[in-house]
Structure 1
Amino acid sequence: MNLTQPTLVIESLNHEGRGVAHRDGKAIFVDGALTGETVAYSVYRKKDTFEMAQATRILRASPARVQPRCKHFGVCGGCSLQHMEPSAQIAAKQRVLEDNLAHIGKVKAETMLSPIHGPAWGYRSRARLSVRMVEKKGGVLVGFHERKSSFVAEMTSCDVLPPRISALIPRLRELIMQLTIRDRLPQIEVAATDTVDVLVIRHMAPLAEADQALLRSFADAHHIQWWLQSKGPDTIIPFYPLDAPELAYTLPEFNLVMPFRPSEFTQVNTAVNPVLMRRAMQLLDPQPSERIVDMFCGLGNFTLPIARRAKHVVGIEGSKELVARARQNAERNAIHNTEFRVENLFGISAEHLAALGHFDKMLIDPPRDGAVELVKSLGLDAPRRIVYVSCSPATLARDAAILVHTKGYRLRSAGIANMFPHTAHVESIAVFER
């Protein structure tokens, strides 16, 4: 061990969960370090204004430091914060949201909402597992990528996946080793609900009859459904069993069943999603006389609960496949006060938005890129209340700056939802009023 390594006192955590310190006017981002800790470190990347480093020894530990539960933590890149106590993770994410609003948006919420959280383990119902044949590792690897690497981590379990899915990892390795095209299977996608587990196998060569028989036997033994993907997402089809129950999640509070395909976006954390939904409804407060729009509506995750309480809801989404699914879900749930439209919300203009008519309220749930063109397009007849659900505090803060400083809204409240425990991902929700 090199006892002459330099040391730092960690000042804070950044949005990626790295410790932040400064030396000689340069920021140093330290993997594996927590706020308040004194650490020895080793630099692995140098730039003019910052350095990337790895903590090599913890000389003074934070009270929030815990022993990581997963034996693969530190090698696997799926988690970055298992060394931090879960409640401290939530507090750190709240600070990330507040800092982004302050420094990027130059705004401050009038009220910070209490954080939304759920189980810290076994929560991840959606995952994309890489598959790689590595002879020197003794066969097939199935898992997430290693940290800072394109290599697949050598995993036998995963504590953030549902236990029954985690238990399949070594069995999948054994199965794929038996397939004739084991070196032509780059990934397996997981989509799990309380009652249905779907595995989508990406195959870059046709499956032989013997391969198909092995997949059927595996499905019967482990009570899963196989779907196949030969090329892009539009080639995903069910394989076995064909008479299996549908893949769907439920929102009991709104009496909704929401079928979806494995390729369609749904929230990863099925325990947190209903709680986030409840908060969104409380903040939006749909009324029986109101016309409301759900921007980036996806398959109707927010649109249909809003429709249970509002007069009329318009769902707008850029994907025609998701809009088709949203319409099907409205029909499935006997909801008739909705309409869905395919629109490119990243290129929307003020004239186009105005042509949609007046809306009393708006919900925005964009991808990581945010909704900058949409908020720029809001005119004098804009909704009096906007609820913004975000998966990126930075783009939320950028868009909040436009809403507050240009469009005349107040940031009434904001808070986080811990959708991805043990990662640095920050899901948040904010409400703006004119």
Structure 2
Amino acid sequence: MGRQRRLLTTEPVIADIESMTPEGQGIARIAGKTVFIDGALAGETVEFVYTRSRRNYDEGRVQKVLSASVSRVEPACAHFGLCGGCRLQHVSSEEQIRLKQQTLLDDLTHIGRVTPESVLAPLTGPIWGYRNKARLGVRYVDKKEKVLVGFRERGSHFLAELEQCLILTPELGGRLPELGELVRRLSCYRRLPQIEVAAGDEQTALVFRHLDPLTEADVQWLIDYGRRNNFVIYQQPKGPDSVTLLYPEQTTLQYTLPEFDVTLEFLPSDFTQVNSDINRRMVSHALQLLEVTPEDRVLELFCGLGNFSLPLARRAAEVVAVEGESDLIRRARANAERNGIDNAQFHVANLFEETAAEPWLKKQTYNKVLLDPPRSGAAQMIPQLAATGAQRIVYVSCNPATLARDAGELVNQHGYRLVSAGIMDMFPHTAHVESIALFVKGE
């Protein structure tokens, strides 16, 4: 009962913050119980109020910082704390990098039971205006009599009322209210839940997901908006296959990897990396770690539309690339042809099932492997990769926990060394950790 009364009080409590979670919450101990406190940094003394109680821990929110950390900075965005999109804006960029690196190393130690022989220097880039892919929520709010466009409030299903987003591509970041006004003019303004953003090097596309059919007037409003503001406009009445171009009549989204003389075309619904600057550095970094030579035969898994495949093909004797989505494989093949690359093969296969009998793997030898799986990792493929006898494996990951799990198997079960690992700051100001690891066959 005492704990329940304490949690119901609105009086602030003073706490010393011992450490931080990977998500950016401060960790304190109050009366023997762990409390996770939004807005608190390690080493600080804060006043906070409780927001939630659970059996094994409590949660709270900072009301006042009594003694600030040297890593605390003033958030640049006026919506910080309301919008759930960027949880780490109050943390210096240097400390964000340190926290993410520590998350990777802790996961490798505690989940994989492995330690890298060396820690790679982090890849960093612009910290604002970097995001060229996003799904913006859209909702008409009766009480406000307006359409909101943007991201959810922190810890809520409601959309935050945003004037701008500093991490979105600059062509769009200041246009959220303007997009709301555009949607309000459409007949289906109550039934348009999402706008997807996809930007290439030269064009930015907006995909309007609508649950009711667009009228001729609606289509004209969207076309006029695209024409005035130099946006490519798509509509999406149903699933991803229903995405169709409205304006202009013909266009191509593309991005370049200049170091490798490669240009990749893509559709707005395709998976592409959200941060162009870091992506270019990441591709170069991965090939350097792999030490690709003109004699190499390289296997790439989860190849997408060729982001790594085509640069690999510029340097290796042969690349065999595999992906589960047939549409992406078709675009990868088309990208290879457009770039004059004829030493890359592309195959469709479910990489979460048994693939030992697949012709690209059965009785095939590869001396090097690159993989970039989704968040769930590549557990099914690890034994099969080890069976290829590849001397070097570069693993690009968007989830340090599954990377750590797979690293543990490669090292502890299949005789590989974890030579190096490090982070790439693909998502500044968020807790997302993008990482890369190099494995070398043990001697």
Could you state the TM-score of these two structures normalised by the residue count of structure 1?
0.96
SS in 1 for 2:276: coil
State how far apart, in whole Å, the 2-side matches of 1:291 and 1:149 are.
49
SS in 1 for 2:29: strand
Q: What root-mean-square deviation, in Å, do the aligned CA atoms of Structure 1 and Structure 2 show?
A: 1.6
Stretches of structure 2 lacking an aligned partner (at least 5 in a row): 1-8
Residue 327 of structure 2 aligns with which residue? 321
Residue 77 of structure 1 aligns with which residue? 84
Q: CA deviation at 1:207?
A: 0.9
Do residues 194 (structure 1) and 201 (structure 2) align? yes
Q: CA deviation at 1:378?
A: 3.7
State how 1:15-414 maps to structure 2 within 5 Å: 15-244=22-251, 246-350=252-356, 352=358, 354-355=361-362, 357-414=364-421
Q: Is the 8 A contact 2:197 2:204 kept in 1?
A: yes
Q: CA deviation at 1:356?
A: 5.7
State how far apart, in whole Å, the 1-side matches of 2:380 and 2:271 are.
22
Alignment match of 1:11 (pick from 18, 33, 50):
18
Q: Is the 8 A contact 1:5 1:42 kept in 2?
A: yes
Q: How many residues align?
A: 432
Q: Is the 8 A contact 1:145 1:151 kept in 2?
A: yes
Q: Is the 8 A contact 2:289 2:394 kept in 1?
A: yes
State how far apart, in whole Å, the 1-side matches of 2:142 and 2:405 are.
47
SS in 2 for 1:153: coil
State how far apart, in whole Å, the 2-side matches of 1:287 and 1:337 are.
14
State how far apart, in whole Å, the 1-side matches of 2:424 and 2:20 are.
18
Stretches of structure 1 lacking an aligned partner (at least 5 in a row): none
Residue 431 of structure 1 aligns with which residue? 438
SS in 1 for 2:354: coil
Of 13-22 and 96-105, the range deviating more from structure 2: 13-22
State how far apart, in whole Å, the 1-side matches of 2:256 and 2:386 are.
36
Q: Is the 8 A contact 2:201 2:254 kept in 1?
A: no
State how far apart, in whole Å, the 1-side matches of 2:405 and 2:33 are.
25
Identity among equivalent positions (%) equals: 49
Of 40-49 and 338-347, the range deviating more from structure 2: 40-49
Q: CA deviation at 1:3?
A: 8.7
State how far apart, in whole Å, the 1-side matches of 2:183 and 2:27 are.
42
State how far apart, in whole Å, the 2-side matches of 1:356 and 1:191 are.
40
Aligned amino acid, residue 108 of structure 2: L
- CA separation of 1:24 and 1:373: change in aligned 2, threshold 3 A: farther
SS in 1 for 2:179: helix
Q: CA deviation at 1:376?
A: 3.2
SS in 1 for 2:47: strand
Q: CA deviation at 1:24?
A: 4.8
- CA separation of 1:358 and 1:26: change in aligned 2, threshold 3 A: farther
Q: CA deviation at 1:45?
A: 2.6
State how far apart, in whole Å, the 2-side matches of 1:356 and 1:317 are.
19
SS in 2 for 1:82: coil
Q: Is the 8 A contact 2:22 2:99 kept in 1?
A: no
Q: CA deviation at 1:157?
A: 0.6
Give deviations 1:406-426, integer Å, cap 9, x for gaps.
Answer: 111100001100000000001
State how far apart, in whole Å, the 2-side matches of 1:137 and 1:181 are.
18
Of 9-18 and 343-352, the range deviating more from structure 2: 343-352
Give deviations 1:128-152, integer Å, cap 9, x for gaps.
Answer: 1010000212310000111111111
State how far apart, in whole Å, the 2-side matches of 1:233 and 1:14 are.
35
SS in 1 for 2:61: strand
Q: Moved runs in structure 1, 4+ residues, more than 6 A? A: none
State how far apart, in whole Å, the 2-side matches of 1:422 and 1:265 are.
22
Of 419-428 and 132-141, the range deviating more from structure 2: 132-141
Q: CA deviation at 1:221?
A: 1.1
Q: CA deviation at 1:340?
A: 0.8
State how far apart, in whole Å, the 1-side matches of 2:32 and 2:414 are.
37
Q: Is the 8 A contact 1:354 1:379 kept in 2?
A: no
Aligned amino acid, residue 313 of structure 2: A
Give deviations 1:357-383, integer Å, cap 9, x for gaps.
Answer: 111110010011011111133444431
State how far apart, in whole Å, the 2-side matches of 1:347 and 1:8 are.
49
- CA separation of 1:294 and 1:104: change in aligned 2, threshold 3 A: same
